[in-house]
Structure 1
Amino acid sequence: MEKIIPVTSPKTLRTVLSPVELDIILSQQEIEAPKKPKTKFQRFLRAIEVPHGDEPISVLRNPDLQPIPDKERTWGFWSFFAYWGLPNFSVATFSTGSALLSLNLNIQQSIGALVIANILIGLMTIANSNPGIKYHIGYTLDQRMIFGIYGSFIGIIFRVGLAAVFYGYLSWLGGLCFNMVFSSFSLNFLNMKNTFPESVPMTRRDLISFLCFQLIQMPFAFVKPRRVNIPSIVTCFMTLFAIVGILAYLVSTNGGPGPLYYNRVTLNASERSWMWIFAITIWYSGVSPAVANQSDYSRFAHSKTSCYWGLFLGTVLPGTFVSLSGMLCASACKELYGVAYWTPDEMVAQWLRDDYSSKARAAAFFIGISFVDSQLFLNMTQNGYSCGMDLAGILPKYINIKRGTIFVQLISWVVQPWTFFNTSSSFLDAMSAFGVFTTPIIAINIVDFYAIRKSKIPLIDFFTLSKSGLFWYDYGINWRSTLAFFTGLGLGLPGLVYSANDSLKENIGMMNFYYGYMFFIPIVSGGLYYALNLVAPLRHEKLRQEDPLDYFNCFNEKELENMGMDPNSDDVDILDAEIQDRSSFEVPGKKTA
């Protein structure tokens, strides 16, 4: 790497920076330099900028996008266990059997598929965690790394769209959980007559509970994401006790697991194999957005080991137990009540209608409040805050996590989540579709970080519009990752269309690809991206390099020592006055002024 003469001054650390490094820093300082507003519109824009104190702000940067400093990395084993336990201690996981058994698998085979899926999800998430763990950056900067400064909008916009859909979807489930709480208070609410026409796929009591759940989520937009780990841990254990109580009561009352447990599989060997693969894909799809944006939370980890073990066990253990419990409970309900109830609110409503006693009401309240809490923190951590982080990457000067979270809270009703639960097939389509959009991003991110960059990236390049920056690529877009992403997505979409529209004649190959896209899309998108980098490799002097200075004061002493990086402090001037003028150095391949 070409060097310039070391710069020193009475207060500067003797440092060696390349011309490219200096060009990047100067470009960053240029876009972050405050400009005095001259017009009313400019003054208005200044007034609505996100609060940033003494921190720099620009079209690429605000305090919520910066690498997380050491003092704020407080998440340990139980925090990550809870973060990944929340999707499992939830209504969606409890009712997953309704989707899996509709594939004509039995309970035993469905659980086998889920065990495999959870192990694969845990390993995939670990592989996608390290940009956050090592460099303490979130999903938004991940997208700049793989798609480029401007190309990052591809991954961000897809994730924002999925977050809005998921937020509404989980809010509706949270409203159903509120039904249990309100029904334990009032027999009139339990038996409330529905005044909506039959064409509306919801009841009046469901709508009331949905609106109430939406309202109680609103204040949590003002809570910092890293501070919800403790209530999430408490919530996981509350919901675990509630699920154990439901399972114990139904199985003991029924005297066994019920008829669904003994169902036989009538599929031939080929059909059974594809349904196993599809079952794995369905379960993976529901959590794939969280796998994709894992760096948003792994950046809070105080150690790599605690993050790895917490997320792996939080995925595998509750994911298997809760799903099995839901299937056994539905099977017992089938024999006890003649109907296989798949959600806790349906089971609790049956108990209250049979015996509206103080004992039944107390059980309904505890079960209801436990699931309400799990849905709330699940929705906030995996959709509310995540969408806020994503939107902050689109308009950093005007949107931070808080504002972005409020935005998704306000628009989530537009997706009409009640339609997801009108029929089991609708639920199946919704569950199996999400991963088509996120899986190419996950695959490319893993290949890029480990194979292309060898786990080394410079952080300063994320916040500059300089064409000398590593993540500028070609006009701010990495065409290699963009082509790989849309190739994988394009191959998955036909199967999604066939699945959603029964009137179309299926292409067997495309449907099989869709059934197993969890396995096939990584091969297509990840493999194509790697091949394109072999054919047309990125040539940049900062590739597989790290910053010479801790520009963001985010690393501790051990990390600085491991990376061979110098600390940054108030006593260190990155640039001396002598070299503030770009004409004092020359960037290779660029004309000087």
Structure 2
Amino acid sequence: MAAFSGILADEEHNIATKNTNGVKSVLSNTDIAIVQEEARLEKSEEPTTRWKRFIRALEVPHEGKPISVLRNPDLEPVARNERTWGFWSFFAYWGLPNFAVATFSTGSALLALNLNIQQSIGALVIANVIIAGFTILNSNPGIKYHIGYTLAQRMIFGIYGSYIGIIIRVGLSVVFYGYQAWLGGLCLNMVFDSFSNNYLNMKNTFPESVPMTRRDCIGFICFQLIQMPLSFVRPSRVNIPSIISCFLTLFAVIGLLAYLTKVNGGPGPLYYEEVTLSAGERSWMWLFAITIWYSGISPGVANQSDFSRFASGRLSCYLGLFIGIVLPGTFISLAGMLCASACKQLYGTAYWTPDEIISQWLNTDYSAKARAASFFIGLSFTSSQVFLNMTQNGYACGMDLAGIFPKFINVTRGTLFIQLLSWVVQPWTFFNTSSSFLNAMSSIGIFTTPIVTINVIDFYWFRKSKITLIDFFTLSKRGAYWFDYGCNWRALVSLIVGIVLGIPGLVYQAQETLKPNMAMLNYFYGYMFFIPLVTGFLYLGLNLISPLKHEKLGQVDPIDFFDCFTSKELSALSMLPFQDNIGDVYQYLDAQEQDSEQEYPIQEVAIWQEKS
């Protein structure tokens, strides 16, 4: 059990006695009831049957720390020694989605909207600035209280209602993990191609009905095997290799861009294409371009707290993520478009991914120079894909699954699970046509944007940036996140409405033979802006009709129960520090509960403050 404890009145005071003269209560009756309910959830009995011993053996390793149906060590607020991420760590965390194949090839989707390169980049700049703003707003539950996405879902949807937000994120993680792993396999093949001309020209033995080659399948399997050992690395420890991967990929992109534009003598024909859209059509395509780009990284925006909780400081987190989103997100996309444009003039085809460019070079001249370029470019992009997939999807899904089955799944087990499950989504089918890629990338944000909106409004508007932590791990009906039967129906209704309104536009986009309702289609094009408005005003309206009330709303814990705050943070929160010198508080409270003749109210006996 956890030793939730406070401050002794003095060295001679014995909390086991009922001498409460001059002792002032720190916890309310509600706090004590919550702690006692947590104790009952976390109570562990010695297994007496073979089946119970088997079930006990399946529990996650917890090294004496409490576990329950709501709690394991990976879900608790992050300890001080784990909060080591500074500017470069957050630059790398948000740089990874940009120093990647998907960003390099973004132009294929944007130019398909009949925008030119200049307008596509303009849309990306606007999108990146807005995304950075969304992400900063969504960071503070992690920065201030060191909690992840899973606990934030309990805060807005309720203890039971949180499973909806968690399951949505798990589903997206599975899809994106498979998608990024497939791209990683293509990058790894660039390394393998540099080793052997026979591998480069490997004969495909798969039937035509299978939309991949044997060579692609080998790269995908090998990439998956490379990622698996990283499941056993704590997420907070991958920041250094992530930084290195970002800079390796940056140099590879600069090399590609410099070589192709120099050999071509300029940016190529795509750069000079005219836009034939009318003013109205152009406006909606700008909105759609912004939405497409946002959608691709919206899961990372939603679960930002999973990694902002590792922040060593607020300012370094904000600056790192802002620069990591805006600068690489613009430059890498521009470089990809210019490289494709140069390739179109040089080779007659616009190549949108690095592996296509490398294949062109190797098939033209399998020389030492081309093989060296293939190896180093392949290694750079492979490294960025590995750490991108692990941080944005693998670890994120592990954290989410830990919130669903805390007693049996931790981050490591959850990450291994998604690696084995990622085959189910058949990611190779995403790349059959440009429209498939476009639809897949443009629809993800429909499911995450309402969650981000509700989280921001709830945290800042209703809770005034103040939340209690002990309430996250209790089934007590007196808990701050119990709401009605464990669900916050206001947030759930707002979430469902926000998602449902985006579905018709997605159907119209995917089924071009249907005659669209232009209002719903335009809503889909600009849902990055429309969903926050609809979801936000609906959530505010429902709370106006049925106000959210709880005695702990807008309050923090009186004591640092999880021993996770620094002295500076404790002072800012007016919170008492954790002390482990008075034994197990649970045992004491249980004893008080069993004492039917206690002389003083429990709130006066149980908890601790200095003598007046």
- Is the TM-score greater than 0.5? yes
Q: In structure 2, what is the Cα distance between the partners aligned to 1:318 and 1:280?
A: 16
Q: CA deviation at 1:41?
A: 2.3
- The residue aligned with 1:533 is 543
Q: How does 1:518-529 map to 2 (within 5 A)?
A: 518-529=528-539
Aligned-partner SS, 1:74? coil
Q: CA deviation at 1:532?
A: 1.1
Number of residue pairs the alignment of both structures matches: 582
Deviates more, 1:357-366 or 1:382-391: 357-366
- The residue aligned with 2:592 is 579
Q: How does 1:166-565 map to 2 (within 5 A)?
A: 166-565=176-575
Deviates more, 1:341-350 or 1:567-576: 567-576
1:10 aligned residue (11, 14, 22): 14
CA offsets per residue over residues 242-293 of structure 1, 9 Å max, x none?
0000000000000000000000000000100000000000000000000000
Q: CA deviation at 1:37?
A: 2.1
Q: In structure 2, what is the Cα distance between the partners aligned to 1:469 and 1:36?
A: 29
Could you say if the C-alpha distance between residues 582 and 333 of structure 1 is closer, same or farther in structure 2, counting changes exceeding 3 Å? farther
Whether 2:36 is the aligned partner of 1:32: answer no
Aligned-partner SS, 2:501? helix
Deviates more, 1:492-501 or 1:329-338: 492-501
Q: In structure 2, what is the Cα distance between the partners aligned to 1:192 and 1:459?
A: 56
CA contact (8 A) 1:80 1:310 kept: yes
CA contact (8 A) 1:111 1:320 kept: yes
Q: In structure 2, what is the Cα distance between the partners aligned to 1:295 and 1:123?
A: 14
Q: In structure 1, what is the Cα distance between the partners aligned to 2:382 and 2:208?
A: 27
Q: CA deviation at 1:527?
A: 1.5
Could you say if the C-alpha distance between residues 476 and 586 of structure 1 is closer, same or farther in structure 2, counting changes exceeding 3 Å? farther
Q: In structure 2, what is the Cα distance between the partners aligned to 1:336 and 1:54?
A: 64
Please tell me the residue identity of whatever aligns with 1:555: F
- The residue aligned with 2:19 is none
Aligned-partner SS, 2:294? helix
Deviates more, 1:527-536 or 1:427-436: 527-536
Deviates more, 1:36-45 or 1:410-419: 36-45
CA offsets per residue over residues 134-188 of structure 1, 9 Å max, x none?
0000000000000000000000000000000000000000011011101100001
Q: CA deviation at 1:40?
A: 2.7
Deviates more, 1:13-22 or 1:415-424: 13-22
- The residue aligned with 1:121 is 131
Q: In structure 1, what is the Cα distance between the partners aligned to 2:402 and 2:45?
A: 21
Deviates more, 1:494-503 or 1:401-410: 494-503
CA offsets per residue over residues 77-106 of structure 1, 9 Å max, x none?
000000000000000000000000000000
CA contact (8 A) 2:592 2:602 kept: no
Q: In structure 2, what is the Cα distance between the partners aligned to 1:79 and 1:67?
A: 19
Q: How high is the sequence identity, in percent, across the aligned residues?
A: 68
Please tell me the residue identity of whatever aligns with 1:199: S
Q: CA deviation at 1:122?
A: 0.4
Aligned-partner SS, 1:436? helix
CA contact (8 A) 1:392 1:400 kept: yes
Deviates more, 1:41-50 or 1:155-164: 41-50
Q: CA deviation at 1:572?
A: 4.1
Q: In structure 2, what is the Cα distance between the partners aligned to 1:512 and 1:104?
A: 16
- The residue aligned with 1:591 is none
CA contact (8 A) 1:23 1:582 kept: no
Q: In structure 1, what is the Cα distance between the partners aligned to 2:39 and 2:568?
A: 28
1:165 aligned residue (164, 167, 175): 175
Please tell me the residue identity of whatever aligns with 2:345: E
Aligned-partner SS, 1:342? coil
Please tell me the residue identity of whatever aligns with 2:200: L
CA contact (8 A) 1:66 1:552 kept: yes
- Structure 2 unmatched runs, 5+: 1-6, 17-22, 604-612
- The residue aligned with 1:90 is 100
Q: In structure 2, what is the Cα distance between the partners aligned to 1:532 and 1:217?
A: 45
Q: In structure 2, what is the Cα distance between the partners aligned to 1:114 and 1:433?
A: 17
CA contact (8 A) 1:7 1:16 kept: no
Please tell me the residue identity of whatever aligns with 1:331: S
Q: In structure 2, what is the Cα distance between the partners aligned to 1:581 and 1:113?
A: 65
Superposition TM-score, scaled by structure 1 size: 0.96
Whether 2:30 is the aligned partner of 1:23: answer no
Which is bigger in relative contact order (C-alpha 8 A, separation at least 6)? 2
CA offsets per residue over residues 447-492 of structure 1, 9 Å max, x none?
0000010000000000001000000000100000000000000001
Q: In structure 1, what is the Cα distance between the partners aligned to 2:460 and 2:32?
A: 27
CA offsets per residue over residues 201-256 of structure 1, 9 Å max, x none?
21111111111111111111011000000000000000000000000000000000
- The residue aligned with 2:608 is none
Q: CA deviation at 1:22?
A: 0.8
Please tell me the residue identity of whatever aligns with 1:344: P
Q: CA deviation at 1:15?
A: 4.3
2:166 aligned residue (156, 172, 197): 156
Q: CA deviation at 1:586?
A: 8.4
1:108 aligned residue (101, 118, 132): 118
Aligned-partner SS, 2:502? helix
- The residue aligned with 1:72 is 82
CA contact (8 A) 1:83 1:229 kept: yes
- Structure 1 unmatched runs, 5+: 1-5, 588-593
Could you say if the C-alpha distance between residues 582 and 150 of structure 1 is closer, same or farther in structure 2, counting changes exceeding 3 Å? farther
Q: In structure 2, what is the Cα distance between the partners aligned to 1:384 and 1:198?
A: 32
Q: In structure 1, what is the Cα distance between the partners aligned to 2:387 and 2:406?
A: 25
Q: In structure 1, what is the Cα distance between the partners aligned to 2:129 and 2:8?
A: 52
Please tell me the residue identity of whatever aligns with 1:203: T
Could you say if the C-alpha distance between residues 582 and 391 of structure 1 is closer, same or farther in structure 2, counting changes exceeding 3 Å? farther
Q: In structure 2, what is the Cα distance between the partners aligned to 1:17 and 1:384?
A: 39
CA offsets per residue over residues 364-385 of structure 1, 9 Å max, x none?
1000000000000000000000
Aligned-partner SS, 1:103? coil
CA contact (8 A) 1:7 1:14 kept: no
Deviates more, 1:203-212 or 1:381-390: 203-212
- The residue aligned with 1:135 is 145
- The residue aligned with 1:590 is none
Q: In structure 2, what is the Cα distance between the partners aligned to 1:123 and 1:580?
A: 49
Q: In structure 1, what is the Cα distance between the partners aligned to 2:394 and 2:447?
A: 19
CA contact (8 A) 1:116 1:280 kept: yes
CA contact (8 A) 1:436 1:489 kept: yes
Q: CA deviation at 1:582?
A: 8.7
Q: In structure 2, what is the Cα distance between the partners aligned to 1:333 and 1:14?
A: 76
Please tell me the residue identity of whatever aligns with 1:348: I
Please tell me the residue identity of whatever aligns with 1:398: F
Please tell me the residue identity of whatever aligns with 1:139: Y
How well do the aligned residues superpose, as a CA RMSD in angstroms?
1.5
Please tell me the residue identity of whatever aligns with 1:273: S
